[in-house]
A and B are shown apart, each in its own frame.
Chain A
Amino acid sequence: MTDTTRPTPDPAVAAYPVDDELVLYDPRQGQGFVLNPTAARIWSLCDGSRTVAAVAAELAAAYALGDEQALSDVCACLEDLRRAGLLRP
């Protein structure tokens, strides 16, 4: 995954907001995942139109983070989501 990748949720994955968190369910795995508010925000920004860099920029603005910190957090989160099979590519 690079800064210019445009991550997209896997269409099989269902998302359910619960309070300020987000619960994802992958019916193929029969497995649920809980995203905390920050990860939920990142997930909501991954709509296929934004690059990883753009997602990081929006996160930096939302949480008053430095660019480097935001990019690092976004990459780590996207990697977790990708490994869990929830995200494309």
Chain B
Amino acid sequence: MPACSAHRPPGVAPAACPDASAAVRILTFQARVCGPAALVRAAQALRPRAPAWTTTPPVVASTTFAMRPDPLSLSGYQLLREGTPLDVIHPPRALLAALDTAITAAAVDVLSGQYLLIHAGAVAYADRSVLLPAAAGRGKSTLVAGLLAAGCHYLSDEVAVLDPPTGRLLPFAKHLAIKRGGAAVLAQLYPELASSVPRLHDGREVVWYLPPPRGAWPARPVPLRYVILPDYVPAAPTTLVPITRTDALAGVVQQACRLPAHGAAGFGSLVAAVREADCYALTVGRLGPAVDQLLRLLDG
């Protein structure tokens, strides 16, 4: 009589993660990262630990990312989201940057239902926050890094999180992603950049991941007090010019993520936050003078 395995009730379980896994929290979002232990450790090292007070609320949504060698190529890696391949990554040194981008995108997906997210840098100083909305390539990350080196608290270099009911900004835990031009400018302020490994971002652009300085997180949500529209213009004089709140609002709306999903109430929250802010356009010719001007403004 053939052996018969013991009956088990049918069930569906998520595929087991190979080797190792780690959790990454960003506010109410959680990413679970799994794959070969060394890669998981390296992935963890590319994300800062979020301040504890931002992860007290329960997880609203969790997404699992897996990294595994691509069976069809010699050196590529598959990056999977919830078991579905997102991409095959060549060369392997681009894998962690692709994972980091995927985690940020998934977090933005989830958090944009709960908060108003703005493509912007953001820092805090003396319990007042500064929002720096701008399209890619305008020098947000470099400017934020310069402000952190000058003693500002860190909220984000790319995704600003506005809590609609309170008009306060919350940290979005990620390392600063510094591009080649920024890395050269920041070399003196952050000597560690010289020894850190650049990553291939989106398969084409090299970025350096810069951890926020120790103690850089604010201790609580920070009211929005300044909206600064930055623009990096090489060799231009650095200027900080007042602008109308409606011009600033237009700049914020342009960089807002999924604003229509929040309806008139969400738009109204954005207006209310900008109404409380002083607004400027900052032309950044050189980082030092730009940081000095902003610090004078914040000290005033």
Give the contacting residue for B249; candidates A14, A23, A27; CB below 8 A: A23
Nearest CB of A to B133, in Å: 14
How many Å lie between the Cα of A25 and that of B272 in the bound state?
A: 13
Q: Which of the residues B245, B263, B267, B275 comes within 8 Å of A32, measured between beta carbons?
A: B267
* Interchain CB contact under 8 A, A18 and B249: yes
Contact B250 A27 (CB under 8 A): no
Count, A-B residue pairs, CB within 8 A = 37
Whether A14 contacts B250 by the Cβ 8 Å rule is no
Q: Are A25 and B267 in contact (CB under 8 A)?
A: yes
Q: A23-B271, A30-B259, A32-B253 are in contact. Are A18 and B264 (CB under 8 A)?
A: no
Whether A19 contacts B267 by the Cβ 8 Å rule is no
Nearest Cβ distance between residue B267 and chain A, in whole angstroms? 4
In angstroms, Cα B244 to Cα A27, docked, is 23
When distances are taken between beta carbons in the complex, the residues of chain A under 8 Å from B259 are 30
Contacting pair A18 B253 (CB below 8 A): no
Q: How far is the CB of B186 from chain A (nearest CB, A)?
A: 35
Q: Quick check: is A58 within 8 A (CB to CB) of the other chain?
A: no
Q: Interface size (A, Cβ < 8 Å)?
A: 11
Q: Which of A14, A16, A19, A25 contacts B244 (CB 8 A)?
A: A19
**B59-104 residues at the A interface, CB under 8 angstroms:** none
Question: Is the Cβ of A18 less than 8 Å from the Cβ of B275?
Answer: yes
Bound state CA distance, A23 and B264, in angstroms? 12
Does A34 have its Cβ within 8 Å of any Cβ on chain B?
yes
- In the complex, chain B residues whose CB is within 8 Å of the CB of A23: 246, 249, 271
> A19 to B268, alpha carbons, bound, how many Å?
15
Query: Can you report 19 A-B residue pairs in the complex whose CB atoms are below 8 A from each other?
Result: A14-B264, A14-B267, A16-B267, A16-B271, A18-B246, A18-B271, A18-B275, A19-B244, A19-B245, A23-B249, A25-B264, A25-B268, A25-B271, A27-B267, A30-B259, A32-B250, A34-B246, A34-B249, A34-B250
Pairs of residues from A and B, 6 with the lowest C-beta to C-beta distance, nearest first: A30-B260, A14-B264, A25-B267, A16-B271, A34-B246, A27-B264
